[in-house]
Structure 1
Amino acid sequence: MQTTLLDGLGTVAAVIRSIGARHPGAHDLVTDGLYLDLRRALRNPADDPALRYATGLDGEVYAHVLATPGARELIARTAVQLRALADEVPRGRLVRLTVACQGGRHRSVAVAEEVGRRVWTAWGGQRGVEIEHHHVDLPVLPASG
């Protein structure tokens, strides 16, 4: 697992996790909060041989995902929902967002990173955001049949 911490002056208020829905046990990581499944919403960078073995932490995959039609709007709506949920819970309680794609290496990673950055920026760095990538280091999954 890889983690990105967008540190704030206060405590971490949001945890965003990316997962690959086809990995065994992936859905055990979905405990509470918001859930966003990108498998039908965004094109899969793994279908492009030039991007297949890179991840959403790599600039070319990140840009590819964000350039997918509808991606930026989906990210913006998700960031607003996460912030609204965080505003409803008492300070000190975490809000969670799980972002899923097929293998957890491309789409979910890029979207989790961008949502995290937007939420952290909207909070003006006053609250922290932790982004966990649970399957980013696992091998690329074969195409589903």
Structure 2
Amino acid sequence: MISPIASRRWVPPSVTDIHAFRDEGLYFSLPFYGHSVQAGFPSPADDYLESYLDLNQHLVDHPAATFFVRAAGDSMRGAGIASGDLLVVDRSITPTHGRIVIAALNGELTVKRLYLSAHGAELRAENPRYAPIPLTEDLDAVIWGVVTHHVRSHP
């Protein structure tokens, strides 16, 4: 198995970015307002500051085993993952039934949901336009890690 960081030959053109988590001690915390934010009629938020939040602590449980990759395409839209979303992937988590994983299939990266049964394993998209991918012996498949979070930017 080739590490996603050690070799770029596994990275197809559709994958825009892969980054390892580097612990450089450059952490900072931002104000965290623990009060729920109204999506309807607004409520004043003055005196709701509860603490400070460091997103590294919130998103990365195992820094040495974590990397980031940017999603491309619409195959996982049913899981709330859109093209351009940043995916946080943890290689230390065992891929189990129902988890969303990053896999290399014949040298191409993909993000899909892992399904395990007595008949074998397959990767499934969260979009009915895409067929399941059975993980057979003739397919060169490597599960790179489990997606733990996805981050979306809003213009």
Q: Calculate the TM-score normalised by the size of structure 1.
A: 0.28
By relative contact order (CA 8 Å, sep 6+), the higher-ranking structure is: 1
Of Structure 1 and Structure 2, which has the larger fraction of its residues in strand?
2
Q: Which of the two has higher C-alpha Rg?
A: 2
Normalized per residue, the structure richer in helix is 1
